[in-house]
């Protein structure tokens, strides 16, 4: 007997294509008006590459904001990379699409959540960009990261909607 059709998996893959296309659009044209993206991902997912100081600070999940200071978005089939500014230093992050847990554009009241039961989403190792720049625990991360609630907590995207 054939396996059941996994509609949840099919929908999730289709929604990830929305994220891919949104990032491709931002790479080619920038983000118009007040549009900006909140992208949340599992930092320990295989293939995630983030600077060492960020992997120490965000050991499970991290939200980045693409709004004013982002450069060189590259979108591939399975991952994207982007340069962001952290403490006035330009850093490259590489994130597989399967590591995503949420995507939102609050300026147009749009948001998606992704399941965290994807392979490797709760385990794996962090690949860090070891640039030999150690930062203290007092480090102030600029507006490109946005901690939301407690680590690992599921949030409702209603929080991003205009009222």
In this prediction, residue 68 carries a pLDDT of: 87
Token pair 């099919």 in the structure block, residue: 10
Which pLDDT tens digits describe the chain residue by residue (163 residues)? 578 999 998 999 999 999 999 999 999 999 989 999 999 999 999 999 999 999 999 999 999 999 988 999 999 999 999 999 998 899 999 999 999 999 999 999 999 999 855 444 333 333 334 433 333 333 333 444 444 433 343 444 455 555 5
The two structure tokens encoding residue 161: 């909607």
| Strand ordering across the sheet containing 127-129 | 70-75, 79-86, 89-96, 49-51, 127-129
In this prediction, residue 153 carries a pLDDT of: 39
> What is the C-alpha separation between 121 and 96, in angstroms, rounded?
11
In this prediction, residue 4 carries a pLDDT of: 92
In this prediction, residue 106 carries a pLDDT of: 95
Burial class (CB in 10 A: 0-12, 13-18, 19+), 42: buried
CATH superfamily of 7-160: SspB-like (2.30.30.220)
Angle at CA of residue 31, ends 25 and 32, nearest 5°: 120
In this prediction, residue 131 carries a pLDDT of: 38
């Amino acid at each position: 007997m054939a396996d059941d059709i996994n509609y949840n998996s099919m929908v999730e893959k289709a929604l990830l294509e929305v994220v891919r296309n949104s990032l491709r659009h931002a790479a080619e044209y920038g983000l118009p008006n007040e549009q900006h993206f909140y992208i949340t991902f599992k930092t320990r997912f295989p293939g995630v590459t983030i600077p060492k100081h960020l992997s120490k600070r965000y050991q499970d999940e991290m939200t980045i904001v693409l709004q004013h200071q982002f450069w060189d978005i590259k979108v591939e089939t399975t991952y994207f990379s982007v340069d962001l500014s952290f403490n006035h230093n330009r850093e490259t992050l590489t994130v597989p699409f399967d590591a995503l847990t949420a995507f939102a554009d609050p300026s147009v009241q749009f948001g998606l959540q992704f399941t965290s039961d994807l392979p490797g989403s709760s385990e794996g190792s962090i690949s860090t960009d070891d640039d030999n720049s150690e930062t203290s625990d007092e480090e102030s991360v600029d507006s490109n990261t946005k901690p939301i609630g407690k680590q690992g907590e599921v949030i409702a995207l209603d929080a991003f909607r205009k009222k």
